[in-house]
Structure 1
Amino acid sequence: MKKVNIIGVPEHFNLPWHMAIAEGAFAERGIALSWTDIPEGTGRMCQMLQYKETDLAIILTEGLVKSISEGNPAKIVQEFIATPLLWGIHVGAESNFKAISELSGTKAAISRFGSGSHLMAYVNAQNEGWSIADLQFEIVNNLHGAVHALTQGDADYFLWEHFTTKPLVDEGVFRRLGDCPTPWPCFVIAATDKFIAENPLILAHIVEVINVYTAEFKQIPSIDKTLANRYNQQLTDIQEWLSLTQWSQKQIKEQDIATVCKTLKELKRIEALIPYEDIVVK
């Protein structure tokens, strides 16, 4: 058996991986795929790819592209989620802020620099017409840290996936002022250059297996109830999320990568546009 390490956020997008592992689909191909949840998100996962603490990652597109631009020896193996990620813009329940426009010049909670919550704060600022030079940040590591920061007033607002934070909104911990969708497909399968070079057949098997699972995922009987129970979500929220989410079985398009690079450059998050072939496995 070939041992392969894979990481991702503990969110509903990744249930197909857990199902495939539990059902022995990778083991049948001689692959011992070991999954580790990374609640800190994309910034931490980029570090783990860079330092070869993992072989594969299910990671936010924009975060990985930025990290590759900074020399991270990794590439996109394939698009994983073809649809945008819906980032909720949250404040603490007792906050005085009532509208997104009031957040200009205030402090954003982020999991870490280079994370999705960090980069999307810039995208939101651009959408709102704010000066990105005025953005301020408070590192909170994860969702639990964001709850503390917004409750205690250490930060003013926090961007995180809409449906993951919905229970906190329902409980009255956060208030959501609006949403900020990514202008590109949100999650990709990434691998280190070392793993890609040394294990092309293993990588092909992994991608083939997960593509079978994701292609059929939404047709699984009562999958909405399974997701709601596993991820502590209301059934109606999960049903809405499923209607908005499309898994992919193809490589991410060159135009989508160009949009990511153009946006990151405009926001001064990368210094130069990066060729498509330097970012993806072709």
Structure 2
Amino acid sequence: MKTIRVGGVPEHFNFPWHIALNENLFNKHNINLVWKDFYGGTGELSQALANKEIDIALMLTEGCIQQINQGKDFKIIQQYIATPLIWGIHVAHHSEYKNLADLKNTKAAISRHGSGSHLLTYLLAKQLNWDTEKLQFELVKNLDGALQALPNNNAQYFMWEHFTTKPYVDNNTFRRIGDFPTPWPCFVIASRTPFLENNIPDVSNILEIINNITQDFKNRKQIAAVLAENYQQDIEDIKEWLLKTEWSQEQITLTNVEKVQEELFDLGLINKKLPNQEFITYL
């Protein structure tokens, strides 16, 4: 049995993988799939994939494309989530900041450079006509780090997935002052090129298993209640999230790769654009 290590954020988007593991669906294809949670998000996932700690990663689209553009030997093998990610923009509950304009020239908490929380800060700044060269960052590693940094005023705002942070808004640790949806589908599945070249049949089987689950995921019995329990979320929040989220079973389009590259280039987060085909591979 071949061991294949897969990493992703510990969020509700990735619950289909845990269903497949609980039902032993990978074992039926002689695959020992080992799942690993990465609390630091796409920046941490990229490092783990490059260091061969994992073989497949579920990464934010913009982060993955930036990493490939900057030389990482990764390929996108499929789009995973077809809808945008809704980034909540958070401040400490008792902070003086009341709206987005108040955050100009303050410091953003980010998990690490190259993470979604880092890249989306640039996109937000562009929308608000801020000078992106004046952006300031405090590295906090993960959500737990931000839960300390904002109340202690080590950073003044933090961008993270709306529903994952909702419990901390509800308990008055954070206050959300806005939302920022990504202008493209938010998650892709990526792997290292050498690994792919040697494991195409197994990777294809993994994708088939996951796609079969995601096609019918929303119709699974009591799925909202199961997700609410597993991720400590209010069931009404989960129902709202399910309405706004669609899984993909297709490869990312070249148009979306181009759109991400254009935005990253315009923001100075990459210094060149590559042919869009170089980012993806078809299994």
TM-score by length of 1: 0.99
Pairing 1:11-22 to 2, within 5 Å after superposition: 11-22=11-22
Kindly provide the amino acid, as one letter, of the partner of residue 218 in structure 1. K
Kindly provide the amino acid, as one letter, of the partner of residue 33 in structure 2. L
CA offset at residue 281 of structure 1? 0.8
SS of residue matched to 2:150: helix
* Equivalent residue, structure 2, for 1:196: 196
CA offset at residue 154 of structure 1? 0.2
Kindly provide the amino acid, as one letter, of the partner of residue 98 in structure 2. K
SS of residue matched to 1:88: strand
* Equivalent residue, structure 1, for 2:83: 83
* Equivalent residue, structure 2, for 1:150: 150
CA offset at residue 272 of structure 1? 1.0
CA offset at residue 277 of structure 1? 1.6
SS of residue matched to 2:144: helix
- Contiguous gaps of at least 5 residues in structure 1: none
Query: Hey, what's the Cα distance between the residues in 2 that align with 1:22 and 1:276?
Result: 37
* Equivalent residue, structure 2, for 1:3: 3
TM-score by length of 2: 0.99
SS of residue matched to 1:48: helix
Whether the 8 Å CA contact 1:81–1:188 is kept in 2: the answer is yes
Kindly provide the amino acid, as one letter, of the partner of residue 141 in structure 2. N
User: Cα deviation per residue 1:36-87 (whole Å; 9 max; x = unaligned)?
Assistant: 0000110011111111111001110100111111111111010000000000
Q: Percent identity?
A: 48
* Equivalent residue, structure 2, for 1:42: 42
* Equivalent residue, structure 2, for 1:100: 100
Whether the 8 Å CA contact 1:108–1:158 is kept in 2: the answer is yes
SS of residue matched to 2:151: helix
Kindly provide the amino acid, as one letter, of the partner of residue 274 in structure 2. I
* Aligned residue-pair number: 282
Pairing 1:195-234 to 2, within 5 Å after superposition: 195-234=195-234
Whether the 8 Å CA contact 1:91–1:156 is kept in 2: the answer is yes
SS of residue matched to 2:164: coil
User: Cα deviation per residue 1:169-205 (whole Å; 9 max; x = unaligned)?
Assistant: 0000000000011001000111111111110111110
- Contiguous gaps of at least 5 residues in structure 2: none
CA offset at residue 273 of structure 1? 1.2
CA offset at residue 245 of structure 1? 0.1
Q: Which aligned runs of 4 or more in structure 1 are off by greater than 2 angstroms?
A: none
